[in-house]
Amino acid sequence: MANPVFFPSTTPNFNLPMLIPGQAQKEFFVNQAFAMIDSVAKRAILGSMQNPPETPGEGSSYRVTAPATGDWEGKEDAIACYIAGAWQFLVPYNGMTVFDQAAGRMLHFNGTWRSANAPASASGGTHIDQEARQALEQLVSALKAIGIFADID
């Protein structure tokens, strides 16, 4: 006889609610999970902010920055999703990447949110090879910061 399978009450990655036998108001939990998935499936946020916007749109999402205030207090680094008139929060996981539409840049989470800055362009000088090396070193460092290259130094 096979051992019974027991499911946890939430999903492992986004902590979305799972249905359990005999659960009342199942549609609430399913709809909440769908709305949260819809908020982050696009892998983009409207921006990074310390406090909630005054009039958020349904389904809008933001990265919460420190020091968070108002309804976002204590939710630093989370993705805040406005669903059915209330804020829901997704805790980021290592490897999560989103596009910050306001800043026009990718953000990568690895213990903290990071983005790569483009290296300064080489200009002038008599040792062009040295400048090119420095630019490449800056590029490599930037790519390391977002986890593209492993930091093995």
Each of the 153 residues of the chain gets a pLDDT tens digit; together they read 566 656 677 777 777 777 777 878 888 878 888 877 877 677 889 999 999 999 999 889 999 999 999 999 999 999 999 988 999 999 998 999 998 888 888 899 999 998 887 666 666 666 677 777 788 888 888 877 775 665 543
Per DSSP, what are the bridge partners of residue 107? 98
> In angstroms, what CA-CA distances link 41 with 7, 23, 33, 98, 143?
24, 27, 12, 10, 24
pLDDT, position 5: 57
Going 58 to 59 to 60 to 61, the CA torsion angle's sign is positive
45, 100 Cβ separation under 8 angstroms: yes
DSSP assignment letter at 52: -
- Alpha carbon distance 151, 121 (integer Å): 23
Return the structure tokens found at 15: 């902590």
| Confidence at residue 143, expressed as pLDDT on a 0 to 100 scale | 79
Tokens 């108001």 locate to 25
End-to-end CA, the chain: 53
